[in-house]
Structure 1
Amino acid sequence: MSRMLSRILPHPKLFLALLAMWLLMNQSISPGQILFGALVAFGGAWSMVALDPEPVRLRRPRAMVTLAWRVFLDVFSSNLAVARIILRGREGDRNAGFMTVQLDMTSPYGLAVLSIILTCTPGTLWVNYTSSTGALLIHVLDLVDEEEWKRLIKERYERLLMEIFQ
């Protein structure tokens, strides 16, 4: 029975997650929204078959909790820092700029999570990653100390992501 179900719906957890996201975004559980959300989720689940991603192997649950807490704190403090920069206006010494960080991580899942962390943190933006060299180009709104930013990314995020995904 489960084999037949997996032929019809190859990624049931993804299907349920996409359906739930659809219903939350539309803020409705009407029959029409459920039906249309199920169709969208069904298409999304089947698109994963075409992509054929390698299975994710998560390790170290404690590192996941530590990383989530760090990201929460960093996003909160970055919001405050960006608000200060905006409220100061032109009188502040803002040094926006680009910088390169040499990453040791090679896991595509770890890199994807790092890109989400850096992009969702106010004041930073993932710009480019070169897989052949491991060079990550990011933009920082207030780039005062480049070495401090490199240390932050490597020690606060990359080290934990490597524990989780590699």
Structure 2
Amino acid sequence: MMAPRKWLPTPVLSLLLLLVWLLLVRSYAFGQFVLGGALAILIPLLTHRFWDARPRISKPMMLLRFGLRVLGDIVTANFEVAYLIANPWRNLKPRFIEYPLMLEERFTITLLASTISLTPGTVSANLRMDGKSLLIHALNVDDEQALIEQIRERYERPLKEIYEC
């Protein structure tokens, strides 16, 4: 008999897929549960070998603090960007910045780039092929080095600690 982990490699993802399926079809009929359940089992089963290894979270409480910090930064940045947009006479200084990475794992680099893009006013535009730097576009930059240090201290160092990179 096959172990449950073999035929259900990611139970949380499977449950999420079933839920999304039921929401998409807007029906809770038995047939939809069966079809959604089959898809929820088959999709992860057929694709899990293509996924990168899951990183181990070494400090879960720090991950929670990181998530709250990012949420707070998103709210704050929304107000800052709204202020910049509402005051058109203000002289904006948009700029592309080459951000040197300390992270080496693809997963944590992706998390960092996503965090930067989630925060209004900044977008991660490109990762160099060698994975050593990230190209970031910022809406208003007075001091490039200060922005680099802010990203490093607020986002990159905590990610490095959380995932022990």
The offset of 1:159, in angstroms, is 0.4
Cα RMSD over matched residues? Answer: 2.3
Q: Which sits farther off after the overlay, 109-118 or 38-47?
A: 38-47
TM-score, structure 2 length as denominator?
Answer: 0.84
TM-score, structure 1 length as denominator?
Answer: 0.84
1:61 corresponds in structure 2 to 60
Q: 2:7 touches 2:41 (CA, 8 Å); kept in 1?
A: no
1:12 corresponds in structure 2 to 11
Matching of residues 5-84 of structure 1 within 5 Å: 5-23=4-22, 26=24, 28-31=26-29, 34-84=33-83
Matching of residues 117-136 of structure 1 within 5 Å: 117-130=115-128, 132=130, 134-136=132-134
Cα pair distance change 1:83/1:34, threshold 3 Å: farther
Q: Which sits farther off after the overlay, 98-107 or 128-137?
A: 128-137
Which stretches in structure 1 are left out of the alignment for 5+ residues? none
Provide the rounded CA distance (Å) in 1 between the counterparts of 2:101 and 2:162. 16
Q: 1:97 touches 1:142 (CA, 8 Å); kept in 2?
A: yes
Provide the rounded CA distance (Å) in 1 between the counterparts of 2:20 and 2:129. 32
- Aligned-pair identity in percent equals 29
Can you list the C-alpha shifts for 1:43-92, whole angstroms capped at 9, x where unaligned? 43134323142132001122112211210111001100111122112x11
* 2:103 equivalent to 1:105: yes
The offset of 1:22, in angstroms, is 4.2
Can you list the C-alpha shifts for 1:24-56, whole angstroms capped at 9, x where unaligned? 5x3945226545543543343134323142132
The offset of 1:130, in angstroms, is 2.1
Aligned residue pairs total 163
Can you list the C-alpha shifts for 1:98-127, whole angstroms capped at 9, x where unaligned? 101111111222112112211111111111
Provide the rounded CA distance (Å) in 2 between the counterparts of 1:66 and 1:112. 19
Provide the rounded CA distance (Å) in 2 between the counterparts of 1:47 and 1:165. 27
More helix by share: 1
SS in 2 for 1:53: coil
Which stretches in structure 2 are left out of the alignment for 5+ residues? none
Cα pair distance change 1:36/1:125, threshold 3 Å: farther
Q: 1:107 touches 1:165 (CA, 8 Å); kept in 2?
A: no
The offset of 1:145, in angstroms, is 1.6
